[in-house]
């Protein structure tokens, strides 16, 4: 069951990133982050009364705060990178960093995946790298064509922060319920709202993309929820690898919605991702 939850979270993460990248091209990145994060928080608060009682500890709240800072900053950098760079390159680059950090932490904490699982994890990382390969990359907005280093740098930093976010959420206890996510999202919203005030940036979002921003924030929260539940019933190294396959859905959405062509390497990467999932689940 945890594998299905992790895969579902990957699909939601990929869709949320796709929408975040689209909207960040048409509005201030900080405004997109604040509004989407606020939409996710609202969705979570509506769901709380419908769930069984929980008893979070101080450490659960602390890990939630860490998740809010790292996750919020990671998403902000990712949306910016998606807005100025090539989507099919930025998302997988972030994912590679995001999966390596939790896997190293899990192994350092004593997890010992079986040989088939290790092979699946390695193949998944290869799949993420292949999905990032495009035979016809688009020019990078705001930079000279072929100079994608700024976007890639942002993607790498984003991956480190998102990987730390994955670790922080995984450290929360099952008894905490959804409260670590509430704390995480409240911290991130407050952090970026204060940043907007200090930098005098407007948080207005064009009405035409308002629905997309809210949908993206809601999908991101659903993905976080599915991931957190999965980590409470399965090994972190496996769960985070499956959840980090989200670039596949981002690339597929770009193909369906934006009619971007998939390169042969990307197609091979998607096939590798499917094989990796079967190996890891087995």
The pLDDT tens digits for 89-132 are 777 778 777 887 888 888 788 877 778 878 877 887 787 777 66
* CA-closest candidate to residue 279, choices 123, 170, 139: 123
* CA-closest candidate to residue 25, choices 65, 91, 80: 80
Number of domains making up the chain = 1
Percent of the chain with pLDDT over 70: 89
- Which pLDDT does position 151 carry in this prediction? 76
Cα–Cα dist 248/104, whole Å: 23
Could you list the residue range(s) of the whole structural domain that residue 157 is in?
A: 2-281
pLDDT band at 212 (very low <50, low <70, confident <90, very high): very high
Q: Is the pTM of this model over 0.85?
A: no
pLDDT tens string 4-55: 999 999 999 989 988 988 888 788 888 888 999 999 999 999 988 877 788 8
- Which pLDDT does position 70 carry in this prediction? 94
pLDDT for residue 201 is more than 60: yes
- Which pLDDT does position 142 carry in this prediction? 43
Q: Find the distance separating the first CA and the last CA of the chain, reported in whole Å.
A: 12
* CA-closest candidate to residue 228, choices 217, 244, 240, 215: 240
Tokens of 220: 């991101």
Instruction: Find the length of the chain.
Output: 282
């Amino acid at each position: 069951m945890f594998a299905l939850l992790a895969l579902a979270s990957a699909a939601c993460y990929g869709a949320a990133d796709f929408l975040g990248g689209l909207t960040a091209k048409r509005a201030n990145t900080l405004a997109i982050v604040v509004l989407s994060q606020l939409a996710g928080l609202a969705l979570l608060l509506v769901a709380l009364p419908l769930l069984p009682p929980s008893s979070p500890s101080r450490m659960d709240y602390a890990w939630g705060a860490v998740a809010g800072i790292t996750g919020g900053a990671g998403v902000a950098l990712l949306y910016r990178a998606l807005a100025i760079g090539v989507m099919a390159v930025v998302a997988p680059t972030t994912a590679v960093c995001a999966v390596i950090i939790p896997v190293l932490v899990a192994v350092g904490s004593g997890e010992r995946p079986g040989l088939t699982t290790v092979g699946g994890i390695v193949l998944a990382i290869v799949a993420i790298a292949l999905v990032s390969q495009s035979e016809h990359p688009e020019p990078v907005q705001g930079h000279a064509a072929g100079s994608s280093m700024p976007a890639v740098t942002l993607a790498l930093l984003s991956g480190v922060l998102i990987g730390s976010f994955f670790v922080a959420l995984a450290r929360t206890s099952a008894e905490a319920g959804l409260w670590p996510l509430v704390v995480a999202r409240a911290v991130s919203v407050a952090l970026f709202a204060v940043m907007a005030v200090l930098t005098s940036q407007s948080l207005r979002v064009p009405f035409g993309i308002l629905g997309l921003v809210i949908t993206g924030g809601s999908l991101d929260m659903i993905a976080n929820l599915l991931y957190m539940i999965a980590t409470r019933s399965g090994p972190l190294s496996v769960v985070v690898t499956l959840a980090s396959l989200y670039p596949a859905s981002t690339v597929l959405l770009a193909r369906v919605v934006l009619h971007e062509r998939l390169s042969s390497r990307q197609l091979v990467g998607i096939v590798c991702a499917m094989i990796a999932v079967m190996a890891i689940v087995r």
